[in-house]
Structure 1
Amino acid sequence: MNNQICLNDIKPGQHATVSALQSTGSMRRRLLDIGLIENTDVECLGRSPGGDPAAFLIRGAVIAIRSEDCRNILIHAL
């Protein structure tokens, strides 16, 4: 699949692979520190009742990421 979408676009229960990070500065550093690098598998576990943030399983850890930050994470949905 060649089309890249942002991490916001997957629904709970769906899996994806990270293709690129467009974040800059300290947010980019944080995302890299939690292991969000190219080809990392990500699973959406759920969203808060208000829809923001969403919980993702990344390298065995559950991480909550705000929608604003998810827009800068490009993925390939599986």
Structure 2
Amino acid sequence: MCLSEMKVGQHGRLERVDLPEEVGDHLAHMGFLPGAGVHVLRRAPGGDPTVYRVDGIEVALRRETASHLFMIPIEKVQ
């Protein structure tokens, strides 16, 4: 599942980044590394961009970028 498909409130673990090296490196510096936990916080009124929390930092990404980040959703245990 790509990050752009996750719903607000969902959590996941980043599995793979499929972007050019320059963009991937920039995201890695913001905490988007394989194995990192990502939480979908909120979407802009038009649906783009979306704010995510990764490594304790809030980051806004456009849908186009988020569609190249592949996630493993984490189900909450109640």
For normalisation by structure 1, the TM-score amounts to 0.91
The CA deviation at 1:23 is 0.7
1:77 matched to which residue of 2?
Answer: 73
Is residue 35 of structure 1 aligned with residue 60 of structure 2? Answer: no
CA RMSD of aligned residues (A): 0.7
Alignment size in residue pairs: 74
Unpaired runs of 5+ residues, structure 1, are none
Q: How do residues 1-78 of structure 1 correspond to structure 2 at under 5 angstroms?
A: 5-78=1-74
Quick one: distance in 2 between partners of 1:20 and 1:34?
15
Unaligned runs of 5+ residues in structure 2 are none
Other structure's SS at 2:14 match: strand
Q: Which amino acid aligns with 2:22?
A: S
**Where has structure 1 moved over 3 Å in runs of 4 or more?**
none
- Report the residue type matching 2:42 in the other structure: G
* Identical positions, percent: 27
Distance 1:55 1:6 in 2: 15
